[in-house]
Amino acid sequence: MSTEANKLQPAFNPGKGEGQAVGLAILGYGTVGSEVLRLLNKHSDSLAQRAGGPIQIKGVAVSDLSKPRAGVDPELLTDDAYSLINREDVDIVVELIGGIDYPRELVLAALKAGKSVVTANKALVAAHADELAAAADAAKVDLYFEAAVAAAIPVLGMLRRSLAGDQVQRISGIVNGTTNFILDAMDSTGATYEEAFAEASRLGYVEADPSADVEGYDAASKAAILASLAFHTRVKFDDVYCEGISKITADDIKAAKAAGQAIKLLATCELITNDSGESEISARVHPTLVNRSHPLASVSKSYNAVFVESEAAGELMFYGNGAGGAPTASAVIGDIVGATRNKVLGGRAPGDNTYANLAIADFGNVRTRYHIDMKVEDRTGVLAEIATICVENNISLRTVRQEQYPTGTRLILVTHTAREADLARTVDIIAASSAVLGVESVIRLAE
Ligand code: HSE
C-alpha cells in the first residue's frame, strides 16, 4: 500500500466487542463533573444502547478528599489522579479540572497510556493542541473536546462532520456568555459597564480571573479551536488578535442603538485572500457593531450563538447555552458516547485535520471597518482637515455625522473596509490633530 493510502486509513485499535463495558475515569468533581456523573447514572441504560456497551465509572479524582461531595459514591473518590488514569480497567479519561499546566500533564499521561480523552478545557486545547493531537495520534486514541466551545451547542461536531464536505468561509461567534450578558444588560437597561459587570458577578457568571471573560481571552481560545477545525490548520491562542469589552461605555451602547446596531463581542474566524492571492486565516476577537437586523444582534443574556458562512451550505446559525453545569455536561457526555463507541467497535475517529496548513494573516493586513466617535472643535475647516487625513491614509468614508452637544461638537465617521493597519494609523493621526479634542471610541463593524 502506498504511503498516501496509509495516511488516509484511520488508525486502528482493536475493539472490545459489542456489549462490552468501557471504563471511565473522571478528573474533577466541580459544577461540570458532578453533572456529568449525575447524567451518566441517570441515563446509564440508554447510554449503553447508544454507545454499544455499558459505560462504567471507575473513579473520580479530586484534589481534596476531606471536602464533602454530594452525588458520588465515596468509594469512587481518589486524590491520586495518575493511579486512576493508569488503571487497567480505565479506557476513557474525562478531564474537567480547568487551568492549563496540571490538566496538560494529566491528559498527556492518559493519552500516552492509551486512554481516549474527553475534555471541556478550551484554554488547554487552544494552547497545546499540537502536543495533545500528536500524543493521541501516537497512541491511536480519541481526543474529543466538544464542550470546550459554546458548551451545549454542537459546533465542533458540525465543523468536523456535518460540514466536512463544505468550505467554511467565515465564522462569527458570540462564544462568551459573560460578556454577552454584560453588553446585553447595558443595551437593554442603560446600565454602565461597571453596573452590568457587578450584576454578572453577583449571578456567578464571571470567571475567577475576570480578564478571561472581559478582556476576551476565553473567546480567543474558542476562536483558535473554531478556526483550526474550520480551516484545517493549527491555529493557537497566540494567533488570535484579542480585544475585550472593558472600555465599552454606556454612551457607546446608546450611540449604537440610535444607529440601529448592537455591540457584541464577536469571535471572527475568516478565510481571506492576501495581496499575493494566497489564502490566509484571520482569527480575532473584539467588540463589533452588528446591525440589529442580523440574527447575532438578538442573542441576549448569557446565550451563545455561532453564525457560519460556507460555500455550499450558505448561512447557518447555532444558538444555545454556552456555559453551566448541565449544558456543558451534555456536550461532554456526547463525546463520552462517541469515544465509547470507538472503543467498543475498534478504531478511532479521525484526528484534527491540519492538512491545509494555511498562514495566519498579520492583523495589520486584515480588512476591517471602523466606527470612530470623536469630539472636535466647532470651527470652519475641521471636517476638511479630517477628510484629508483619511484620504492621505487610503481610508474611504462611508458616512459622516456631526452632532451638537452642550459640551461640544461630536463627529462620527464610519469608514469603508480598509487595511486594519491603515485604519489604526489614521485614528492615531486624527487623535493628534489640532482640530480634534478627543477620540471617544473606535469600534469595528461586522462585515
Ligand atoms: N466564562 C465562560 C463564558 C464560560 O462566560 O462563556 C464558558 O466557557
Compute the distance between CA of residue 417 and CA of residue 272 in angstroms, rounded to an integer. 13
Rounded distance from Cα 301 to ligand 1 centre (Å): 12
Residues forming CATH 3.40.50.720 domain(s) in the chain: 3-151+326-345
Q: What does DSSP say about strands 314-321 and 92-95: parallel, antiparallel, or unpaired?
A: unpaired
Count Cα neighbours of 408 within 13 Å in the Cβ-side half-sphere.
15
Res. 61 pLDDT band, cuts 50 70 90: very high
Q: Is the CB of 322 under 6 A from ligand 1?
A: yes
State the first-to-last Cα distance of the chain, in angstroms, to the nearest integer.
47
Rounded distance from Cα 236 to ligand 1 centre (Å): 18
Choose which residue among 149, 183, 205 to substitute to test ligand 1 binding: the one with the highest number of ligand atoms within 8 A of its C-beta.
Answer: 205
The CATH architecture assigned to 3-151+326-345 reads 3-Layer(aba) Sandwich (3.40)
Rounded distance from Cα 96 to ligand 1 centre (Å): 14
Angstrom distances, CA of residue 158 to CA of 168, 212, 229, 231, 333: 11, 26, 10, 13, 16
The answer as to CATH 3.65.10.10 being correct for domain 364-445 is no
Q: Is the CB of 215 under 6 A from ligand 1?
A: no
Q: What is the DSSP letter of 200?
A: H
Residues forming CATH 3.30.360.10 domain(s) in the chain: 155-319
User: Any catalytic annotation for residue 343?
Assistant: no
With vertex at residue 103, the alpha carbon angle to CA 232 and CA 234, rounded to the nearest 5 degrees, is 15
Q: Whose CA is nearest to atom 7 of ligand 1?
A: 323
The answer, yes or no, to whether residue 122 has pLDDT greater than 80, is: yes
The answer, yes or no, to whether residue 13 has pLDDT greater than 90, is: no
Q: Which atom of ligand 1 is nearest to the CA of 178?
A: 5
Compute the distance between CA of residue 255 and CA of residue 262 in angstroms, rounded to an integer. 9
Q: Is the CB of 325 under 6 A from ligand 1?
A: no
Res. 1 pLDDT band, cuts 50 70 90: very low
Res. 352 pLDDT band, cuts 50 70 90: confident
Q: Is the CB of 176 under 6 A from ligand 1?
A: yes
Q: Which atom of ligand 1 is nearest to the CA of 175?
A: 6
| Residue 40, C-beta contacts closer than 8 angstroms, at least 6 positions apart | 24, 47, 55, 57, 333, 336
Candidates 122, 222, 264, 343; catalytic one: 222
The answer, yes or no, to whether residue 200 has pLDDT greater than 50, is: yes
The pTM (predicted TM-score) of the whole model is: 0.95
Average pLDDT over every residue of 313-338: 98
- Matching residue, cell 467554511: 168
CB 121 within 8 A of CB 115: no
For the chain, what percent of residues have pLDDT higher than 70? 97
Burial class (CB in 10 A: 0-12, 13-18, 19+), 70: exposed
Average pLDDT over every residue of 33-48: 98
Average pLDDT over every residue of 186-211: 97
Q: Is the CB of 352 under 6 A from ligand 1?
A: no
Q: Which atom of ligand 1 is nearest to the CA of 222?
A: 8
Angstrom distances, CA of residue 211 to CA of 139, 207, 283: 36, 8, 19
| Residue 74, C-beta contacts closer than 8 angstroms, at least 6 positions apart | none
Rounded distance from Cα 345 to ligand 1 centre (Å): 35
Per-residue pLDDT of 284-316, as tens digits, reads 999 999 999 999 999 999 999 999 999 999 999
Rounded distance from Cα 23 to ligand 1 centre (Å): 29
Average pLDDT over every residue of 381-400: 96
pLDDT (0 to 100) of residue 4: 46
Per-residue pLDDT of 230-258, as tens digits, reads 999 999 999 999 999 999 999 999 999 99
Res. 218 pLDDT band, cuts 50 70 90: very high
CATH of 155-319, one of 3.40.50.460, 1.25.40.10, 3.30.310.50, 3.30.360.10: 3.30.360.10
Residues forming CATH 3.30.70.260 domain(s) in the chain: 364-445
CB 181 within 8 A of CB 302: yes
269 bridge partner residues = 171, 283
pLDDT (0 to 100) of residue 207: 94
pLDDT (0 to 100) of residue 274: 94
Cell digits of residue 123: 484554554
Q: Is the CB of 218 under 6 A from ligand 1?
A: yes
Cell digits of residue 349: 475517529
Compute the distance between CA of residue 225 and CA of residue 237 in angstroms, rounded to an integer. 8
pLDDT (0 to 100) of residue 11: 53
